[in-house]
């Protein structure tokens, strides 16, 4: 920034110079140069935007669980997870990357509460199956309550909340959100029976199937809000095509060949 000292004072823009008044002083500054984005930067920006939109899509679909279990900047953490997924998409798709080409399974394990992992409160993995007849089954294993849960010491019951999201990967925009009644587990019981959630879904085309599970502890109707005693996580994330699970195949890493030096130099020892 410079001060105008001439007799004639100018206001406005002249070329890349901007003349204006600051208080009682006439000043001039150079207009910031426009930074021309490279083609690679433009492609990266488009792909970053696509990853962020997919993260927002998931966040909105699971909004009830996000409201109950989110802690620790979920928005940025979920964006970063989708960026990691988009990094698995081949480089030739740069600038036009789509979720259908990425490793959707990397979404599995995303924690809603960054300070408490689900497997510290709910101690068993669930099983997800797609039967030959197309039925989708989410199965919680049987077991002793004390081997399944790490409850709040004063809690009388645990409640499991499950939601599912089934959406098209071919940009048609079709989706289905599955909301499930809370599964109440009285903590004075000794055993938890095998429990199954069965869904009849339309499997036509390429779709993503995502399930999230959360656990909270209650005393009567009061939920314990201590973040050490609630957790939520994406427990399954699959690419499904016409009812068949599609495994992601990563591109092989290209190893650089190290060419050994033909003739090597030698030290010369000089005698005193």
| Choice between 27 and 223, residue whose per-residue pLDDT is larger | 223
What is the rounded average pLDDT of the residues 188-198?
97
Q: Is the pLDDT of residue 123 over 90?
A: yes
With CA atoms as reference, report the closest residue to 97 among 105, 107, 85: 85
Average pLDDT over residues 100-107: 97
- pLDDT, tens digit, for every residue of 46-82? 999 999 999 999 999 999 999 999 998 999 999 999 9
User: What local confidence, expressed as pLDDT, does residue 256 receive?
Assistant: 59
Pairwise CA distance, residues 128 & 138, whole Å: 5
CA distance 212 to 70: 12
pLDDT band at 140 (very low <50, low <70, confident <90, very high): very high
Largest CA-CA distance found in the chain, in angstroms, rounded = 93
Give the pTM.
Answer: 0.79
Task: Tell me the domain boundaries of the chain.
Answer: 1-31, 39-246
Of the candidate ranges 41-45, 139-143, 174-178, 207-211, the one whose mean pLDDT is the lowest: 41-45
CA dist 56 and 60 (Å) reads 6
Q: What is the pLDDT of residue 72?
A: 87
Average pLDDT over residues 91-101: 94
* Residue 29 pLDDT exceeds 90: no
Residue pair 140/169 in contact by the 8 Å Cβ criterion: no
Residue with tokens 């109707």: 221
Render pLDDT for 219-261 as a digit per residue (tens, 0 to 9).
999 999 999 999 999 999 999 999 999 999 887 765 656 666 6
């Amino acid at each position: 920034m410079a001060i105008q000292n001439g007799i004639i004072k100018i206001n406005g823009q002249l070329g890349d110079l901007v003349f204006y008044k600051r208080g009682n002083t006439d000043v001039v500054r150079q207009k910031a140069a426009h930074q021309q984005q490279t083609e690679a930067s433009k492609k990266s920006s488009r792909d970053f935007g696509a990853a962020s939109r997919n993260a927002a899509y998931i966040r909105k679909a699971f909004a009830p669980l996000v409201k109950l279990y989110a802690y620790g900047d979920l928005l940025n953490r979920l964006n970063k997870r989708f960026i990691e997924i988009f990094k698995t998409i081949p480089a030739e798709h740069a600038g036009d990357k789509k979720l259908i080409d990425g490793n959707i399974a990397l979404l599995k394990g995303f924690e809603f509460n960054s300070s408490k992992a689900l497997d510290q409160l709910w101690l068993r993995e669930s099983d997800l199956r797609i039967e030959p007849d197309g039925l989708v089954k989410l199965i919680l294993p049987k077991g002793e309550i004390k081997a399944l849960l790490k409850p709040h010491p004063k809690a009388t019951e645990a409640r499991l909340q499950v939601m599912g999201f089934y959406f098209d990967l071919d940009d048609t925009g079709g989706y289905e959100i599955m909301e499930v009644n809370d599964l109440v587990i009285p903590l004075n019981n000794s055993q938890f029976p095998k429990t199954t959630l069965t869904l009849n879904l339309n499997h036509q085309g390429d779709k993503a199937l995502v399930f999230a599970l959360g656990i909270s502890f209650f005393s009567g109707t009061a939920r314990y809000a201590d973040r050490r005693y609630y957790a939520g996580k994406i427990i399954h994330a699959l690419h499904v095509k016409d009812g068949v699970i599609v495994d992601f195949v990563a591109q092989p890493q290209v190893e650089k060949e190290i060419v050994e030096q033909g003739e090597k130099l030698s030290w010369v020892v000089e005698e005193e």
